[in-house]
Structure 1
Amino acid sequence: MKSLTINGSKRESVGKKATKALRNAGKVPCVLYGGDQPLHFAADEIAFKDLVYTPDVHTVVIELEGGEKLDAVLQDIQFHPVTDAILHIDFYQIYEDKEISMEIPVHTVGVPRGVKNGGVLRFNLRRMRVKGLPGNLPDFIEANVTSLKIGNKLYVTALKSDDFKIMHPDNTVVCQVRTSRNVVALDDEEDEEETAADEVPATEVAEGGEKE
């Protein structure tokens, strides 16, 4: 999984007045959990652009004064209800030998057969919560939808991996192909074909008759 570096500085004061002063200076107050005790720090709001405003997921290296580096993942984020400015971010410290739980985006591969026939691919789950060692977690999970016909569903069981554990019930639907007004035909490879009467070759014998 890709990693981003956030340069921050430890916070000496965590009161409301100090927090407001940080935000006025264009910084975001943050807390890192998972260590011996919570670590309060702050970083420039612009530093979170590639971490927050993206559909992808990343691990984070928090680099503090003195060269201290801590590996983490984003746990929670608060936005201003009007301006959407970042108000606060919580991180969780990770260790190479300890499993973590994260939401990983789902990327589809291929064009469903049902879509080619006029159906529509609908997503029920664009992100999947999985659990595993940080080094085993992927940037995204591939879902091959090529064989899906109209009415077919893709379940999380089809996306199992030895690298991580899926934290959803087996009957959870990731996506499905639904019918639409543009449906033009059923899938043809498994459908029985009937020959119309006017398509019978002239050389065939009619019932009770002779070849023409």
Structure 2
Amino acid sequence: MKSITINGSQRESVGKVSTKALRNAGKVPCVVYGGDKPIHFSADELAFRHLVYTPDVHTVVIALEDGIKVNAILQDIQFHPVNDRILHMDFYQIYDDKEVMMEIPVRIVGNSRGVRNGGVLRVVTRKLRIKALPENLPDFIEADITEMKIGAKMYVTAVQTDDYKILHPDNTVICQIRTSRTAIADLEEEEETDEEGEEGETEAGDVPATETDDVAAVKE
């Protein structure tokens, strides 16, 4: 998974007055949990634009004074109810040898046969919560719909790998191909029907001469 570095400064005071002063200065108060003790810091609001305002997910390297660096993931974020500015952010410290839980976006790929035949693709689950070691966290989970027919559903079991564990029931639907008024029969089923018809014609051609043919032969 890609990582973003956030340069910040540790906060000595965490009261309401100092927090308000930080926000007025264009900074965001933050805290990192998961270590020996919480780490309070602040960073410029613009430093979070590639972390917050994107459909992608990233791990974060929080770089503080004195060369202190903390690997973390975004845990929670609070926005202002009116202007949508970031009010506060919570991070969770991660370690190379400890699994972490994270929501990963699902990316639909492929050209579905069902859609080509007039079906409608409906994406039910756009993010999946998984558990994995930090090095095995994917940027996205790929769901290939190429072979899906009209009426087919794709479950989370179809995208499970050994790199991570999906924290959803096995019957959780990722997407499905729904029928529509313009939908036509599946191409493969039509081809199978055509093949059966050709076999029938071949067998008919091997049938012995008819009774009418026998009568004509006697008259001759």
With the length of structure 1 as denominator, give the TM-score of the two structures. 0.90
Tell me the amino acid that sits aligned with residue 104 of structure 2: I
Q: Which protein has the larger Cα radius of gyration, Structure 1 or Structure 2?
A: 2
Measure how far apart 1:209 and its partner are. 6.0
Partner of 2:34: 34
Q: Could you tell me how far 1:119 is from its partner in structure 2?
A: 1.1
Matched, 1:190 2:189: yes
Distance 1:193 1:4 in 2: 55
- Structure 1 residue 186, shift from structure 2 partner: 1.4
d(CA) in 1 for partners of 2:211, 2:22 = 97
Q: Percent identity?
A: 67
Describe the superposition over 1:162-207 as per-residue Cα deviations: whole angstroms up to 9, x where unpaired: 1110100000000111122332x111213453799xxx9xx979x9
Quote how far apart the aligned CAs of 1:81 are.
Answer: 1.1
Q: What is aligned with 1:99? A: 99
What aligned pairs does 1:37-76 form with structure 2 within 5 A after superposition? 37-76=37-76
**CA distance, structure 1, for counterparts of residue 124 and residue 21 of structure 2:** 42
Tell me, in whole angstroms, the C-alpha distance in 1 between the residues paired with 2:137 and 2:29.
28
Is the partner of 2:188 in helix, strand or coil? Answer: coil
Q: What CA RMSD, in Å, does the superposition of the two structures yield over aligned residues?
A: 2.2
Bigger helix share: 2
CA distance in 1, matches of 2:212, 2:24: 97
Q: How big is the shift at 1:82?
A: 1.2
Aligned length: 205
Residue 4 of structure 1 aligns to which amino acid in structure 2?
A: I
Report the equivalent of 2:218: none
User: Which consecutive unaligned segments of at least 5 residues does structure 2 have?
Assistant: 214-220
Task: Give distance in 1, aligned partners of 2:189 and 2:150.
Answer: 13
Give the SS at the match of 1:190.
Answer: helix
Match of 1:2 in 2: 2
Q: CA deviation at 1:37?
A: 1.1
Number of the residue aligned with 1:15: 15
Separation in 2 of the partners of 1:124 and 1:36?
A: 39
